[in-house]
Amino acid sequence: MFFNILPLKYQWAYDIYKTMKANHWEPEDIPMGKDREQWVDQSGAISEIDRWIIKMAIGYFSAAEGIVGDNIIHAVRELITASEVKLVLGRHAHEENIHADSLVYM
């Protein structure tokens, strides 16, 4: 898929895209050491019901991130013709991938 970004038709969309890029992060950027210690600690830092809730939430978001990313690409982005809006939607899908990756990291 190729598209020409210039001339810009929607400056607002390109500005959003640049903001999205500037807010980039990776799962490894988030310190998880204390969280891991609490998870491993069996002394009650996290109750069994809290563990269950956390596991269910991670399971839910694991599926949801994939659904959102797929819908952005296959149901929305394909309908858009403005290149700068395609950039925003592609970046949004990329951020959903980062969210899914962060669940693996946890």
Residues forming the active site: 105
Omega into 7 within 30° of 0, i.e. cis? yes
CA dihedral (14, 7, 73, 64) in degrees, to 10, reads 10
> Quick check: helix, strand or coil at residue 80?
coil
Residues 6+ apart with CB under 8 A from 76: 89
